[in-house]
Amino acid sequence: MSDLREIAPAFVEMAHRIVWAPTATVDADGRPWTRVLHPLWDWDGEALTGIIATSPLSTKAAHLAAHPDVSLTYWDATHDTCTAQCHTEWVLSDEGRAAGWEALETAPQPVGYDPSIIPGWDTPTSEGFGILRLTPWRLHLMDGSMMLRGEGRLLTWRA
């Protein structure tokens, strides 16, 4: 089992390089659903948190009301993979949505973007705009190119 201080920086580097993460939720009837999302991660040296700009009016929001955990997995053609199982929490205050909007807008490419490119998200206070905060309780990381050469190692962390 890895220490969070060892795995979190490597996780953020890989996640931000790959950018897009298939993300699974579970609906109220226990059925899994997946979609591709664009999280932004922050490692402050002590805690790892993520945010996703998404609609609190979506089907995903209904799933999270019943089961507030998600699983996100990043993968690229070199077989680098990293997964985060996370508890979620909505940030719906005007102040919190504005801070999330700014974080996404000012993050470096390729992970940063202007949320107003999404139809209906004209400002951080648009009705359909929300920030979903991610708090990982498990991380799993594998450097696929090294593993294929027999040199890599698998990193796993649990809260």
Tokens, residue 36: 């591709």
Tokens, residue 152: 């890599």
Q: What is the DSSP string of 83-140?
A: EEEEEEEEE-SHHHHHHHHHHHHHSPTTT---GGGSTT-SSTT-TT-EEEEEEEEEEE
Query: Which of 140, 110, 135 lies closest to 19, judged by CA?
Result: 110
- Cα–Cα distance between 137 and 64 in angstroms, integer? 16
Residues 17/78, Cβ–Cβ less than 8 Å? no
- Cα–Cα distance between 87 and 142 in angstroms, integer? 22
User: Which domains, ranges and CATH numbers included, belong to the chain?
Assistant: 4-158 (2.30.110.10)
Residue 1 — very low, low, confident or very high, per pLDDT cuts 50/70/90? Answer: confident
C-alpha separations of 13 from 43, 84, 127 in Å: 10, 13, 32
| Chain segment 114-142, per-residue pLDDT in tens | 999 999 999 999 999 999 999 999 999 99
Say whether pLDDT at 152 is over 90: no
| Chain segment 60-112, per-residue pLDDT in tens | 999 999 999 999 999 999 889 999 999 999 999 999 999 999 999 999 999 99
Partnered with residue 85 across adjacent β-strands are 71, 138
Residue 154 — very low, low, confident or very high, per pLDDT cuts 50/70/90? Answer: confident
Give the pLDDT of residue 19.
Answer: 97
| Chain segment 16-58, per-residue pLDDT in tens | 999 999 999 999 999 999 999 999 999 999 999 999 999 999 9
